[in-house]
Amino acid sequence: MQQQQGKDVTLTGIRKSYGDVVALPDVNLSVRRGEFCTLLGASGSGKTTLLKIIAGFEMPDRGSVHISGKNVSRMSIADRNIGMVFQNYALFPHMSVFENVAFPLRMRRLAKSDIDRKVAEALELVSLRDFRARMPGELSGGQQQRTALARALVFNPDILLMDEPLGALDKNLRQTIQLQIKQLHQELGLTVVFVTHDQEEAMNLSDTIVIMENGSIVASGAPEDLYRKPSSPFVAGFLGECNFIQQDGGNMLGIRPEHLLVGSPSRFAAQRYRGEIQVATFCGMHWKLFIASMGQTIIAYAPPDISPLERIPGTAVDWGFQQADTLIF
């Protein structure tokens, strides 16, 4: 498939309510052409509702949706030229892989030769060329999801919307398809709006992460910027793990677990505290230590070669950090 020119998306003053429940109070969002934008939030944060409004499955109470400057707020789903991939794949069980991918082209009444060519290109793109005759029930979960992805791409959509598409897959397969999605995004120049509650998935895939809470956008930016310079304790705690220490002057310090010095290395810390190991779990690249200290539980990542004596539950340990590694709120 040739590189596609994704379109930019602008949402202005979007409000959506269901009876007395306001799902989206007043949302403004801009997604640049060719950008991979992830809506990240807990269940009930409004991220899927916002995606449905972009797609046309839901109509806002007020506000507008523009795609490349064109107001599509009241346009039908079919007229928006948007591809969608869902968590449940939504494949037709009585159709082969080929027929599933060809379906949107048949709805657009393309010639048979064009359908054959475009479906072949789409299946090649997701490495399913040899599976065209199979039925969905004969495919693995990953193959079904790639079929759904091919179907969403085959008609050259202006925007690709993905609603938690990898949630039903095991971790290894999820990581494999994450890589494939990222490569497709780069290769095709797609504009992608992706919904997930998985922080790691959001950081792996995104150019921009938009964090939502209670129907509002509370932060947006590049993954590294949001992680290293979060705007609030909520953002720091939601995107990765973070310890919080209340200061006497009213400020709150945030320290990422990877910046804590535990046991012997704590002698190099600018600020040191005493605690007791509660639990130690081995995570491969590091030990994850839960330390009882100052009336709370502190989480630290220690190197894999930390002394066994410094990770035994019940052991008293020193821990600390450098001031330069703290976040101040």
Average per-residue pLDDT in the chain?
Answer: 94
Query: Given this model, what pLDDT does residue 2 score?
Result: 56
pLDDT category at 90 given cuts 50, 70, 90 is confident
Query: Given this model, what pLDDT does residue 18 score?
Result: 96
Query: Given this model, what pLDDT does residue 173 score?
Result: 85
Checking if the pLDDT of 153 tops 60, the result is yes
pLDDT category at 1 given cuts 50, 70, 90 is low
317: region left, alpha or beta (phi > 0 left; psi from -120 to 50 alpha): beta
Query: Given this model, what pLDDT does residue 44 score?
Result: 94
Task: Give, for 124, the enclosing helix (H) or strand (E).
Answer: helix 112-125
Q: What is the mean pLDDT of residues 7-23?
A: 96
Query: Given this model, what pLDDT does residue 144 score?
Result: 93
Query: Given this model, what pLDDT does residue 265 score?
Result: 84
189-228 confidence digits (pLDDT tens): 999 999 999 999 999 999 999 999 999 999 999 999 999 9
pLDDT category at 247 given cuts 50, 70, 90 is confident
**% of the chain with per-residue pLDDT over 70:** 98
Checking if the pLDDT of 4 tops 70, the result is no
Q: Where are the domains of the chain?
A: 9-234, 243-328
Is 243-328 CATH 3.40.50.1110?
Answer: no
User: Could you tell me which CATH number the domain at 9-234 has?
Assistant: 3.40.50.300
Query: Given this model, what pLDDT does residue 80 score?
Result: 92
Beta-strand relationship, 296-302 and 287-293: antiparallel
Beta bridge partners of 208: 37
Q: What is the mean pLDDT of residues 234-249?
A: 93
Q: What is the mean pLDDT of residues 166-193?
A: 89
**% of the chain with per-residue pLDDT over 90:** 84
* CA of residue 18 relative to chain centroid, distance: 26
256-298 confidence digits (pLDDT tens): 999 999 988 888 888 899 999 999 999 999 999 999 999 999 9
Query: Given this model, what pLDDT does residue 248 score?
Result: 83
pTM reported for the whole predicted model: 0.91
Checking if the pLDDT of 244 tops 90, the result is yes
Checking if the pLDDT of 148 tops 60, the result is yes
Checking if the pLDDT of 13 tops 90, the result is yes
Query: Given this model, what pLDDT does residue 3 score?
Result: 57
Query: Given this model, what pLDDT does residue 5 score?
Result: 61
Task: Compute the distance between CA of residue 88 and CA of residue 67 in angstroms, rounded to an integer.
Answer: 27
274: region left, alpha or beta (phi > 0 left; psi from -120 to 50 alpha): beta
Query: Given this model, what pLDDT does residue 171 score?
Result: 86
Task: Compute the distance between CA of residue 172 and CA of residue 188 in angstroms, rounded to an integer.
Answer: 24
The shares of helix, strand and coil residues in the chain, as percent rounded to the nearest 5, are 35, 35, 35
* Sign of the C-alpha dihedral computed for residues 40, 45, 50 and 55 taken in this order: positive
pLDDT category at 243 given cuts 50, 70, 90 is very high
Q: What is the mean pLDDT of residues 89-102?
A: 94
Side-chain half-sphere CA neighbours of 214 within 13 A: 2
Q: What is the mean pLDDT of residues 89-115?
A: 95
pLDDT category at 7 given cuts 50, 70, 90 is confident
Token output for 15: 């409000």
297-329 burial, b at 16+ Cβ within 10 Å, e below that, comes to ebbbbbeeebeeebbeeeeebbbbbeeebbbeb
